[in-house]
Structure 1
Amino acid sequence: MNDPHVRVSVVHERDQTDSNVIMAAQKNGSRRKRWHPEEIKAAVRMKGTTLSKLATDNDQHDSVCRAALIRPCAVGERIISSFLNVSLHELWPDRYAPDGRRLSLRHVRDEDTAGRAEPQRQFAGAR
């Protein structure tokens, strides 16, 4: 029962099942709530560049696209969306409406910030 070869095949079989479920969900359009920042970084890297290079290629400061992964940054979000050919709403449904309009983030609270006095996401300059 403790044969390592059996264990490896079981893990491989489970990974294959998970991959099939993810692929089926993507085909049906039932993707998770938003792309994880690491998924965005990986997608950019798979297309042969980095977030910093992507920003500088678009005449922006090298941190603009990296900033978009951790806080609202309209310029960086649009650069990433355009480069990946993925709608803003699909990447950040909590920041953009399906028609591409920017959502007001002033009073949005995450489950993680429910106990904090101040909302985590705000427009730049909002207090």
Structure 2
Amino acid sequence: MQTSKQADWHRADIRAALEKRGTNLRALSVRAGLAKDTLRNALTRPWPKGERIIAQAIGVDPSVIWPSRYNR
């Protein structure tokens, strides 16, 4: 039986989803009380807090954006 693996969203798709909702990583970082570029870290390495902030802004669960980090 073969299972299909979902790929993580590409970072450009994450940025586009945020922009469609009128925000960006920098604005989210500042709103969350973080340094302006801090949320970029979640695009390249696991960081649950940052992933939750980004996912909430997009309106999905973090496991939808990063299935490889959550579906183990």
Bigger-Rg structure (1/2): 1
With the length of structure 1 as denominator, give the TM-score of the two structures: 0.49
Structure 2 stretches lacking a partner, 5+ long: none
Of structures 1 and 2, the one scoring higher in RCO (CA 8 A, sep 6+) is 2
1:32-111 alignment runs, 5 A limit: 32-97=6-71
Alpha-carbon deviation of 1:64? 2.3
Structure 1 unaligned segments of length 5 or more: list them: 1-29, 98-102, 104-127
Q: Secondary structure at the match of 1:62?
A: coil
> How many residue pairs align between the two structures?
68
Relative to its length, the structure with more helix (as a share) is 2
Shift of 1:82: 0.8
Aligned mates of 2:53, 2:34 — CA distance in 1: 10
1:91 aligned partner, one-letter code: I
CA shift digits 1:2-33 (9 cap, x unpaired)? xxxxxxxxxxxxxxxxxxxxxxxxxxxx9x52
Does the CA-based 8 Å contact 1:64-1:73 persist in structure 2? Answer: no
Query: What does the per-residue CA deviation read over 1:55-104, in whole Å, with 9 as the maximum and x for residues that have no partner?
Result: 1101122222211111112221110011111111110011113xxxxx6x
Provide the aligned C-alpha RMSD in A.
1.8
Question: 4+ residue runs of structure 1 moved beyond 4 angstroms?
Answer: none
Percent identical pairs in the alignment equals 37
The AA in structure 2 aligned to 1:75 is K
